[in-house]
């Protein structure tokens, strides 16, 4: 039976939602993600009053630590990375429920101790026997951990309690391995208890794509191949990969980001209106649009890859990927990837969706640019519209969250010169509340048992089906990705990829 939160009356439109009695176990507490995102998000939820009174956090790791050593780690990561201000009273309440269990993943005793700790916390603090297990660990460790959770009885819920598992990407490295991984997880946890994290779906600006499209009359009539020329989805980062070789070498930009975040952005942008925002209805539309999405060929002309070289980035000398610690000296891992996709249905036939992502680029920016066709006829003389581009609606996912509409306007004082101008919506101006971090929303949804923002295995597998042909094409080439200078907008081949079609990448 699921715990029903009395505040969650469906008629209650207020967001404050408080999780029911529960505890959270994190595997991989010493990793970057746990320190920079997960533990700070838990504090932020506590600070917002959205965690239940007896909420307990259990860390599991190899280190020879006592409870207070782990407590210090949480404390330091909260102080450094939490979004909301540090308050002693909030911290002290959270700290009372912090425990640590020392062990390795193949250690039966350690998992038995973990089960014991979960039971004790339930008795002491009233966690209701409800526990979520967050696997912030490499996917190679999923089989052993899920097996241990089954063996120790931790995975088992009775009719009055729940047990959920949260898994971080990558969900495999291709379709075949994703299927294997899904089978391993589903062997222990029923699908409704599996929460696959794609943290982009936790972002306010991403959820807002659905509000923009389906709450307004203005955009949807134009949202199709009759009016839209193409869509550009960009996720650029200015940081390099120092310290991440263990995860990234051999994975690369396409698997790291296009397979999940960018395809989810495409799905939100291209999907049909769901029957409702119930999880089943939303996921059905996402799966449908992803199933219609295919790479547009020929792949040697419609895809591009690159690897950042060493050099100067904004006054700082930075190493190239091949000089970063831990990367193979002849690594062919791409740090930039661009692909052309087509959604093969009536709404989108013939409209290219260009997806690109890269590390060490000009600046950090994620955006979706919906670029419209030119007006079919311009009743001006040609010199008056030389500076007029195509209309575009740009969803600025981050930073500087907002939406920009670009259109032509008469330049004052001229007879009739038309030039592009922009109209802007910025979260910072329109709302006084700052947006919660993606992980706040998603961790809370796990505790509430709200699955809407978590991709199901079907979506994950379809996403690999889309990407696999591109990855196979690159593997067959057997060449190294093209080098690009740090601080640039990627390799030349990516520019050529668009120029060939008479288009250009935006320079956000």
Q: Which is nearer to ligand BG6, 104 or 434 (CB)?
A: 434
Q: Which is nearer to ligand BG6, 280 or 364 (CB)?
A: 364
Q: Can you tell me the distance from the alpha carbon of 156 to that of 267, in angstroms, rounded to the nearest whole number? A: 34
- 237 labeled part of a ligand binding site: yes
- 203 labeled part of a ligand binding site: yes
Contacts of 116 (CB under 8 A, 6+ apart): none
Catalytic residue, chosen from 47, 261, 377, 429, is: 261
Nearest approach in angstroms of CB 344 to ligand BG6 is 28
Q: Given the DSSP bridges, would you call strands 352-358 and 228-236 parallel, antiparallel or unpaired?
A: parallel
In which residue are the tokens 């819920």 written? Answer: 157
Which of 122, 204, 229, 237 touches ligand BG6 by CB under 6 A? 237
Reported as type and span, the H/E element at residue 210 is helix 204-214
Restricted to residues 328-387, the positions that interact with ligand BG6 (CB under 6 A) are 366
Q: From residue 256 to residue 275, what is the string marking binding to ligand BG6 with x (rule CB under 6 A)?
A: xx------------------
Is the separation of the CB atoms in 30 and 38 below 8 Å? Answer: no
- Minimal CB distance to ligand BG6: which residue? 256
Q: Can you tell me the distance from the alpha carbon of 488 to that of 238, in angstroms, rounded to the nearest whole number? A: 9
Q: Which is nearer to ligand BG6, 164 or 199 (CB)?
A: 199
Nearest approach in angstroms of CB 441 to ligand BG6 is 13
Indicate the DSSP class of residue 390. -
Q: Across-strand partners of 195?
A: 166
Contacts of 177 (CB under 8 A, 6+ apart): none
Nearest approach in angstroms of CB 459 to ligand BG6 is 16
Nearest one of 250, 234, 322, 262 to 471, comparing CA atoms: 250
Q: Does 440 bind ligand BG6 (CB under 6 A)?
A: no
Q: Which is nearer to ligand BG6, 256 or 342 (CB)?
A: 256
| End-to-end Cα, the chain, rounded Å | 49
75 classed as catalytic: no
Joined tokens for residue 131: 């526990």
Total residues at the site for ligand BG6 (CB under 6 A)? 5
- 256 labeled part of a ligand binding site: yes
In which residue are the tokens 């706040």 written? Answer: 440
Q: Which is nearer to ligand BG6, 237 or 324 (CB)?
A: 237
Residue list for the binding site for substrate: 199, 203, 237, 256, 359
Residues with catalytic roles: 261
Residue ranges at the known binding site for NADP(+): 62, 169
Contact positions vs ligand BG6 (CB under 6 A): 199, 237, 256-257, 366
């Amino acid at each position: 039976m699921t715990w029903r939160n009395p505040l969650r009356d469906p008629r209650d439109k207020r967001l404050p939602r408080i999780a029911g009695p529960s505890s959270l176990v994190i595997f991989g507490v010493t990793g970057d993600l746990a320190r920079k995102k997960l533990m700070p998000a838990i504090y932020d939820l506590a600070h917002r009053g959205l965690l239940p009174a007896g909420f307990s956090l259990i860390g599991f790791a190899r280190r020879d630590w006592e409870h207070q050593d782990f407590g210090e780690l949480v404390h330091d990561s909260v102080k450094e990375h939490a979004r909301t201000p540090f308050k002693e009273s909030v911290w002290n309440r959270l700290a009372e429920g912090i425990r640590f269990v020392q062990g390795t993943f193949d250690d039966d005793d350690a998992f038995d101790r973990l089960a014991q700790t979960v039971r004790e916390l339930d008795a002491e603090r009233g966690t209701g026997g409800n526990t979520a297990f967050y696997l912030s660990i490499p996917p190679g460790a999923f089989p052993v951990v899920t097996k241990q959770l089954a063996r120790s009885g931790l995975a088992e819920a009775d009719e009055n309690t729940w047990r959920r598992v949260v898994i971080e990407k990558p969900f495999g490295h291709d379709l075949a391995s994703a299927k294997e991984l899904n089978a391993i997880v589903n062997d222990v946890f029923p699908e409704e208890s599996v929460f696959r994290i794609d943290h982009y779906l936790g972002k306010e600006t991403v959820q807002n794509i659905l509000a923009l499209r389906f709450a307004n009359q203005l955009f949807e009539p134009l949202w199709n191949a009759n009016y839209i020329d193409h869509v550009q989805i960009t996720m650029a980062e200015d940081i390099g990969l120092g310290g991440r070789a263990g995860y990234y070498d051999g994975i690369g930009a396409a698997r790291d980001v296009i397979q999940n975040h960018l395809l989810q952005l495409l799905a939100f942008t291209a999907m049909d209106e769901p029957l409702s925002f119930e999880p089943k209805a939303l996921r059905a539309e996402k799966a449908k649009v992803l199933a219609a999405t295919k790479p547009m060929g020929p792949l040697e002309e419609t895809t591009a890859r690159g690897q950042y070289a060493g050099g100067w980035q904004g006054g700082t000398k930075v190493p190239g990927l091949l000089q970063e610690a831990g990367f193979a000296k002849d690594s062919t891992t791409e740090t930039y990837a661009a692909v052309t996709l087509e959604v093969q249905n009536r709404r989108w036939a013939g409209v290219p969706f260009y997806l690109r992502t890269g590390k060490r680029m000009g600046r950090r920016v994620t955006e979706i640019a919906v670029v419209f066709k030119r007006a079919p006829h311009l009743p001006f003389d040609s010199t008056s519209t030389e500076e007029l581009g195509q209309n575009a609606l740009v969803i600025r996912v981050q930073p500087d969250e907002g939406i920009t509409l670009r259109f032509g306007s008469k330049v004052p004082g001229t007879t009739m010169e038309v030039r592009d101008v922009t109209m802007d919506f910025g979260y910072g101006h329109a709302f006084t509340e700052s947006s919660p971090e993606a992980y706040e929303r998603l961790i809370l949804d796990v505790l509430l048992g709200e699955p809407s923002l978590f991709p199901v295995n079907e979506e994950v597998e379809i996403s690999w089906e889309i990407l696999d042909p591109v990855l196979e094409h690159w593997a067959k080439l057997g060449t190294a990705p093209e080098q690009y200078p740090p601080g640039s907008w990627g390799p030349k081949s990516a520019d050529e990829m668009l120029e060939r079609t008479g288009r250009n990448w935006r320079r956000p």
